[in-house]
Chain A
Amino acid sequence: MEIDFGALDSIRAAQNPDGGWPYRKGGSWTEPTVYALLAHQAARTTAPHSAEAVAWLCATQRGDGGWTPRRAVDQSTWVTALVALLPPETIGAARHARAVEWLVGERGMESSPILHLSEFLRHGTLPEGPDLSGWPWFPGSAAWVTPTCLGILALKKRYWRQPSSELRERIGAAQAFLLSRRCADGGWNHGSQRSRGYDSGAYPETTGQALLALAGMDAPKLEETFGLAQGFLREQRSAGGAAWLRLGLLAHQQTPADAPLFRMPCRTLPDTALTLLAEAAEQGYNVFLE
Chain B
Amino acid sequence: MTRRDFLLGSAGLGLAGCGRTAAPRSRALVKVTRAATYSQDLYDTMRRVLREHRIDVRGRRVVLKPNLVEFEPESAINTHPLLVHATLEAFRELGASVAIAEGPGHRRGTLDLADAAGYFGTIPDFEDIFTDLNLDDVSRVRLPHPVSHLRSLYLPHTVLGSDLLVSMPKMKTHHWTGATLSMKNLFGIVPGGVYGWPKNMLHWAGIHQSIADLHSLFPKHFAIVDGIVGMDGNGPIQGQPKAAGVIVSGREPVAVDATCCRIMQIEPSRIEYLTLAGGLEGIAEENIQQIGEKPDSVETRFELIMELRELRRVRA
Contacts and interface: CB of A to CB of B under 8 A. Distances in A.
A136 interface: yes
Main secondary structure of the interface of A (DSSP, over half): loop
Contacts of B272: none
A138 B200 contact: yes
B204 interface: yes
Nearest to B71: A237
Nearest to A203: B107
A140 B112 contact: no
B138 A73 contact: yes
Interface string A118-145: 0000000000000000001110111010
Interface stretch (A192-200, A210-218, A249-257): A192-200
B200 A144 contact: yes
A141 B111 contact: no
Contact of B132 (A23, A75, A264): A23
B195 interface: yes
B106 A190 contact: yes
Interface string B129-153: 0001001111110000000000000
Interface in B237-261: 237-238
A155 to B, nearest CB: 19
Interface in A224-248: 237-241
A168 interface: no
B197 interface: yes
Contact of B106 (A77, A141, A189): A189
Nearest to A269: B135
Given A138-B196, A138-B201, A267-B109, A23 B234 contact: no
A141 B201 contact: yes
Interface stretch (A26-34, A87-95, A98-106, A169-177): A26-34
Nearest to B4: A72
Contact of B140 (A72, A203, A268): A72
Nearest to A74: B140
Contacts of A239: 109, 112
Which of B194, B201, B234, B307 is the most central at the interface, judged by chain A CB atoms within 10 Å of its CB?
B194
B193 A69 contact: yes
Given A137-B200, A141-B203, A196-B175, A240 B195 contact: no
B99 to A, nearest CB: 14
B108 A205 contact: yes
Contacts of A268: 109, 111, 132, 135
B200 A141 contact: yes
Interface in B162-210: 175, 193-198, 200-201, 203-204
B154 interface: yes
Nearest to B112: A238
B112 A237 contact: yes
A264 B195 contact: no
B305 interface: yes
B196 A144 contact: yes
Given A138-B196, A138-B201, A141-B203, A267 B138 contact: no
A196 B307 contact: yes
A31 B241 CA distance: 37
B50 interface: no
Contacts of B106: 189-190, 203
A141 B132 contact: no
Contacts of A20: none
A136 B234 contact: no
B116 to A, nearest CB: 6
A151 interface: no
Interface in A61-75: 69-70, 72-75
A196 B194 contact: no
A27 to B, nearest CB: 5
A196 B305 contact: yes
Contact of B111 (A78, A138, A197, A267): A267
A198 B109 CA distance: 25
Interface in A1-33: 23-24, 26-27, 29, 31
A254 B154 CA distance: 41
A203 B108 CA distance: 11
Contacts of B305: 196-197
A264 B71 CA distance: 14
Contacts of B193: 23, 29, 31, 69-70
Interface string B53-91: 000000000000000000100000000000000000000
B50 to A, nearest CB: 30
Given A77-B196, A190-B106, A190-B197, 20 more contacts: A23-B193, A24-B135, A70-B138, A72-B137, A73-B194, A74-B140, A137-B196, A137-B201, A138-B194, A146-B197, A195-B175, A196-B305, A198-B234, A200-B237, A200-B238, A237-B71, A239-B112, A240-B108, A268-B111, A271-B109
8 contacts: A31-B193, A142-B200, A147-B196, A195-B175, A196-B307, A198-B238, A237-B112, A268-B109
Interface of A: 23-24, 26-27, 29, 31, 69-70, 72-75, 77-78, 109, 136-138, 140-142, 144, 146-147, 189-190, 192, 195-198, 200, 203, 205, 237-241, 264, 267-268, 271
